[in-house]
A and B are shown apart, each in its own frame.
Chain A
């Protein structure tokens, strides 16, 4: 199979979606959970700060949302570009 126009576009759309998702992935864990924690330390969450919450729970919840969002979006994209499994 050669790379025709639509499958090139399909791959480009997929890579763009991956990049956006990975930016969010990094922001909540490495960002809010670790590096940016001092910046948001003013926001209190039950005896600790927002960064602590992101490091221990928040990032996990965002990861979950990301995977389901990606699966839903990609399966839709598969159908739009006619590359889904029949």
Chain B
């Protein structure tokens, strides 16, 4: 059986499984649609949240970014896990006690203002749609590869599949489907990693293999450092970027994690407040299984690629064009070339492909002496690394099929969760909560589905010119959530001082400065060449646009406190509400918003 049929088989079988579960657990009422009737066990909920959370960015993109940058991109690892500490300690139990369906309902009630709720909805939509763009990028790459077509058509087909999939059910269908998706994606991520770790280090646990020794007795990381510096690239384990930027970037990802509506919504679905605390822990357990493996995947893939391009060592002859075209070990290069995401060119016509860092002045001499005319591995989209990894390591065909299914599971589960958050924001908070309060349940569900479709169209249009690799686009979404939603939620719980005007001013200020900073660096609405600054030379010293969320959050806090201090004090009944949210006793089932 050829690889194409095998991929189709794995992807088809996994889809049949998800759709079967979605039909079996179809949402009946609005309560089912948004919060799964609150009967979800913390471990199940943790697994579903992990699937919801680990998206194309975590599965497809992150290890690639770590592989080609090394230590500097550790921010993704710390940021996307550290946020769960904030969520578990600062938000989840209190929001569960409050007992409503959506994040904006909490903000609207706590800050006793329909305006606050509206602003929260806007913040949530901006962050979620940016996030969906990143997901669609991943979906496009995964579909492009497994159907062996251009990534653009992969994106178009992917968008249709995501839509069909998301309208099937609400949270309840999604919760159980996501448990299945978690199982598929974690197996797909770890199985190839185990194989590769065994090949390189003899250790079956990739996380330990990363710090282990290779077959010749040299530590894996030392060997990797040596080979990449020989080729003129930056040392893998060393720090190169600005420390300030790395701290701010990590912090933005952490705060953003705790401010993302589709993740927070998950904690409304556990039975009790104490379960909300456990649930955050279980979620992180399931996430950690992938996140502890990811740095190993990145480092090992980088080593494999470098050695494939230099089969005779960095001082020997490079890989020949003939070898790439005929040897089965290099077959992955031809398949990925078809997606337009990988490319090579024999610039100096010596019949070999020299892969090195031609921007490094120190290598100029060696290049001239050997007659190299620039790096000949001309295009290597970092987002393909994880999907290509099993092929690069020459693993059996079924592993490659499994990884294709896993990548799609990751992208689809998150896209579905996000679309649910977007649709509930539009239909539940915007239409029913503000514009047409007498809407029937039926038309509310209809509006929810129409808004999902609209969100996909917007995400695809903006995703045609993505502002970076999938994980970087997603990082921008986190910056937006960090600057707008998280501070409002935290102040709502931990300070009785913040009033309605303070919260609204804070959210608007945080969202506006962050969005502005991103557009200044990435172009207005991500349209190419409309940017004024670049992330290589940002407006504020070392602060890149992906790191600005933490500053945006600080602006939000500062503005909120200042405005609250010069406006009317919070009324007594709201202070009582805050105090009741702080103690678990008396948490009932969630009630319909008004």
Contacts and interface: CB of A to CB of B under 8 A. Distances in A.
Interface of A: 1-3, 7, 10-11, 14-15, 18, 21-22, 25, 29-30, 33-35, 37, 45-49, 52-53, 55-57, 59-61, 63-64, 66-68, 70-71, 74-75, 78, 82-86
Contacts of A49: 237
B88 A70 contact: yes
B292 A46 contact: no
Interface stretch (B3-11, B145-153, B577-585): B577-585
A63 B284 contact: yes
A78 B278 CA distance: 14
B82 A71 contact: no
Which 9 A/B pairs are nearest by Cβ-Cβ distance? A47-B219, A46-B211, A47-B221, A55-B74, A71-B277, A67-B281, A47-B222, A56-B295, A83-B583
26 contacts: A1-B576, A29-B78, A29-B254, A46-B220, A46-B221, A47-B211, A47-B221, A48-B211, A48-B219, A48-B237, A55-B71, A55-B74, A56-B77, A56-B210, A57-B77, A57-B292, A59-B77, A59-B81, A63-B82, A64-B281, A67-B284, A78-B273, A83-B585, A84-B584, A85-B274, A85-B585
B288 interface: yes
A77 to B, nearest CB: 10
A85 B273 contact: yes
B74 A2 contact: no
B85 interface: yes
A56 B74 contact: yes
Interface stretch (B31-39, B243-251, B390-398): B243-251
A84 to B, nearest CB: 6
A57 B210 CA distance: 10
A33 B222 CA distance: 19
Contact of A30 (B210, B222, B247): B247
B295 A35 contact: no
A23 to B, nearest CB: 11
Interface residues of B, number: 55
B286 to A, nearest CB: 11
Contacts of B277: 67, 70-71, 74-75
Contacts of B207: 57
Interface of B: 71, 74, 77-78, 81-82, 84-85, 88-90, 93, 207, 210-213, 218-223, 225, 237, 239, 243, 246-247, 250-251, 254, 272-274, 277-278, 280-281, 284-285, 288, 291-292, 295, 494, 576, 579-580, 582-587
A24 to B, nearest CB: 9
A35 B247 contact: yes
B212 A46 contact: yes
Contact of B81 (A30, A48, A60, A84): A60
Nearest to B207: A57
A71 B74 contact: no
A83 B584 contact: yes
A8 B580 CA distance: 12
Given A63-B84, A71-B278, 9 more contacts: A18-B89, A30-B247, A52-B221, A57-B207, A64-B285, A71-B277, A74-B93, A75-B274, A85-B584
Contacts of B71: 52, 55-56
Nearest to A45: B211
Nearest to B579: A3
A10 B580 CA distance: 12
Contact of A84 (B85, B90, B274, B281): B274
B191 to A, nearest CB: 20
B358 to A, nearest CB: 27
A85 B576 CA distance: 19
A4 to B, nearest CB: 10
Nearest to A47: B219
Contact of A67 (B246, B280, B579, B585): B280
